[in-house]
Structure 1
Amino acid sequence: MVNPYCGEVAITLDGQRHIAKLTLAALAELEAALETQSLFDLVERFEQGRFSSRDVLALIVAGLRGGGWCGTAADLATVEIGGGPLEAARVAAELLARAFALPQP
């Protein structure tokens, strides 16, 4: 079960449900992967709809790793994401939102 108060988001890979969340370590990995000055720059890109597929992929990998997954971006490229690219973008945006906002009851 997903716990939004812990920043968790569900994602389906090859028909199997996984939990993703952006832990501090996952956020640090994300910053390094995207070579960004600030994660708030990434948040701004999502808010303005200027994100790239690379942003989505990096967010999902970081979130999955924060949830305990041991894969890499190359591994993620070989699986089917339930809901396709649109769902992947939604999950990435939700990961960011839950990492930087207080959950709403």
Structure 2
Amino acid sequence: MANPRAGEVALILDGRRHIMKLSLGALAELEESLGADSIAALVARLESGAVSARDVLALIVAGLRGGGWPGRAADLVAAEIEGGPVEAARLAALLVARAFGEIG
């Protein structure tokens, strides 16, 4: 079970439930993959509303890695996220909100 108070979000990937969390290490990876020079710049980019599929993928990968998943972005190319791209985007937004204190 995902713990919202700990910033966790559940995601079903290829029929298996995974926990996502934006740990400090995951945030650092996310900054690097999206070319942001700070957490504030990263959050501003995500809050701008101009979030790309690449951004969603990077958030999902960072969240999964923060939850202990050993994979990489390339592993998700052929993977199925339950609910498709719309659910992936919703979960990515929820992940950011929970990482910065909104339980949602």
TM-score (norm 1): 0.91
1:78 maps to which residue? Answer: 78
Which blocks of at least 5 consecutive residues in structure 2 are unaligned? none
Which blocks of at least 5 consecutive residues in structure 1 are unaligned? none
Separation in 1, partners of 2:26, 2:35: 14
Aligned length in residues: 104
Residue by residue, what CA displacement relative to the aligned partner does 1:4-62 show, whole Å, maximum 9, x if unpaired?
01100000111111100000010011111111123333333333321111110001000
1:29 maps to which residue? Answer: 29
Per mean C-alpha deviation after superposition, the further-off stretch among 42-51 and 93-102 is 42-51
Separation in 1, partners of 2:36, 2:48: 17
Change (3 A) 1:102 1:92: closer
SS at match of 1:41: helix
1:80-99 alignment runs, 5 A limit: 80-99=80-99
User: In the alignment, does 2:103 pair up with 1:103?
Assistant: yes
Separation in 2, partners of 1:84, 1:102: 24
2:58 maps to which residue? Answer: 58
Superposition CA RMSD, Å: 1.4
SS at match of 2:18: strand
Separation in 2, partners of 1:51, 1:41: 13
1:11 maps to which residue? Answer: 11
